[in-house]
Structure 1
Amino acid sequence: MSKNNTLKKHKNFLFRDGDYTWLEAKAGCQTLNMELAVLSTTIDHNDAVNYLYSNNFNPNGIWIGLYSDLDNNASQFIWINGVPVMSLDWTVNEPNDEQIRNQSTCVRMKPSSQYALDDVKCTDTSPYLCTEGSAPSVYTTQSSISLPIRTVILLECPYFSLWNITNVQWQRKTSQETVILDHLKDFSMYGGGTITNSSLIITSLDVNNDGLYRCFVENKFGLGRGEDITVTTNPEGAAPLVYITQSNVLLPVRTKIVLECPYYSLGNITDVHWQRKTSNETVILDHSKDTNLYNGGTICNTSLIINSLDLNNEGIYRCFVGNEFGLGSGEDITVTANQGIPIIVPTTTFYDVNVSATITLTCDAYGYPSISNQYWTRSLGGSTVILKTSSMYLDITNASLSDSSNYTCYVENAVGSKKLVYSVYVNEAESLCPCVCDSIANQNLSHYSFDELKIILAPVTDKLRQTLSVDTSTLSSAIYKRTCMQDDRPSSKRIGYCGIGFLCSVFSTLLLIDITSFKCFGTFK
């Protein structure tokens, strides 16, 4: 089936027949001022199925706006408009993206399975289904805030929209009224709340700011709204407000991780600690005891540093900050070790040595899942020979010219394999000048005094002195002291002529003065 312009439009849906990759389908919907179908609810899914059934569309599969993001978590699926994924109707044995490693997968509806979902390569081709564009998705990261008066408060309004934002506004609701805030009129009380900065800033909290706040973000398809944020004034003071900038951390093993714990407190901080929760236990981390595993998590440095991530560090982490008014708690941060092919620690891979040298090639590797196999090979005469297995070291002792070759370390785990090539060049040792003191070199001279050594070594030193002595009269420096060097350059000749002329003029002047004086003296007599 080739690309064509067959369009089947419904009041909420549009079907386009042809062969398109997932990215081509996404772009095709946008050119029609629509978006690749988002079926985030059961009602949406049933409406799409009824539309396809009623129009008798029965291709092998139909692209929709659901995909997995390899950069974040290849097993977590995302709707393109940012709406949370609640539940999905998959076909049997789906999703099976583990069969498509190292790449993102995209989802299509499968008519042969009652329009259930199937994940495939995003480069596969299928027809696609568009829906009318959706309003922005607005997320709420705060639910309630209670702080002392005159505190500056930031109410966040993160959102996602495939289309340009046309308006952002905040609503404040109390028991008496509901008002839309106008930061241009109320600039002394509020800041932000605009398209360029959707967050609302309460410049100085007082009882007149108490209420329920809600953020609204609008595009050309509708208005998205966040959840209510309760803001109250605490006249006596409040526990620290702990912000969380991370929610999920997925990194390879042996990675150094920093879990941040930013906070706001009017009073002095009296306590900071981190909690780690697993399916088996909940523990309070003690950085003074677990220095090999953790650092930080103190009043001076609230962030927690996991020195080297492994399976024992996985879990749900939470930061607690206390002051004289109480204990503030952050949200959970899920830390997971990412499965992947082994990683080989960078090391020297080029060796240039002389004959008889000893070399140790090191191939230190790690991974999750753990290493299942490790071995060394050598390129020899166009073939590959396995030298050693189950070792991170390969020793080449008493190296010879025939040991010059490429050596390769292979490391494997359940996910895949990694290799590192080492180049070894063995050179023939250079011969040194013959020693003139072979007979002395074989003697043990450690028990002689310095004066005795001078007498014993006198023949050798005299011979060296005769060998190394030079007749200084034959040196060029001595010869040129007694010889004028000819210089035929025109500039040198001109300088010489000028010098001669200058000297002649000096002597002529002196002579002229003497002659004049002599005449005057004769006249006087």
Structure 2
Amino acid sequence: MSRAAEYSTWHGVPQSTDNFIINTFYDYEFIWMNERNDTLYAGMYYTEDNDNSPLFFYSINGVNFTGSKNPTNASSVTFAKYIEVIFYMSENCDNSSVNQHSAECPGKVPPIIQTPQTSISFINRDNVTLVCAYLSYYTVLDVRWNFDSSENGIRIIITNDTDHTKYSGSSTRAPSLTIHAADLSNQGNYTCSMKNRYGWAEGSVIQIKMLTDTSLCQCPCSPVKNGSNYTTDELQVILSSSLKKLEKELKVDKKLLSSYVSKHVSASDDRQSSRSLGIGGIVCLCLMGAAILGMDLMSIKRHTATAKGICLGRP
């Protein structure tokens, strides 16, 4: 990186003392400092408190820089709300620069396209999204999808301007393609392609296929291959064993139902009034049983004498 030619002199600051750092430490995405790294002339400051908007700032005379200092605290710093920052890649690349985030120099190559999907099955009238991501060291200039139809064998090129009611995406901002209300005419092979200043690149093929009624509901183990060739009586005979097996599998033990269990199991009640009432009932039942038993015991002597008289033949 270097200062533009028309700004070779910045308020007495010689160009030879410029020091640029990108993707650096602390909360600075870009910094323009002097050779000692103690005076800051411009930069982009970003934290999560900035509502996801980096702050571009500059100082004509420079401001003291300590690395961790928030530029918003410096009175001599000027902020720009709207500004266009353009980065140019020079012909030479130096891996020994102060930028520690770059592992290697980017080559003059087309974009690297990533398409994680290989095949997609969809139901009629569903929305289908074909994912396309890319890595490019240079600005992506164009994105398009190549569609090879399996119905008529024709190749169709889908761009961001193609029938917005049917397609969305296929742009530099959103390279993935969404097909709205897909039907049989949309099945086939799709390929994502894009270009930068060094040429076109093409991703892997994604095949999409619509699921038909037969593929949604298949009964390969059914004993009936073609039911339309049998009468009702013949079907009952053929399917009798399967129906009995199915009936056995679906049969439910009534004693395991919650309704049956709730009818035969008393619910517990820990209230003192319930306990008192229960104890009172038990006492009443015991007293009634004791009274009946006492009356029987009182008359047992008389019943014994009567039985003895009958046995001896006395009246």
More strand by share: 1
Please say whether Structure 1 and Structure 2 have the same fold, judged by a TM-score greater than 0.5: no
TM-score by length of 1: 0.22
Q: Which has the higher contact order (CA 8 A, sep 6+)?
A: 2
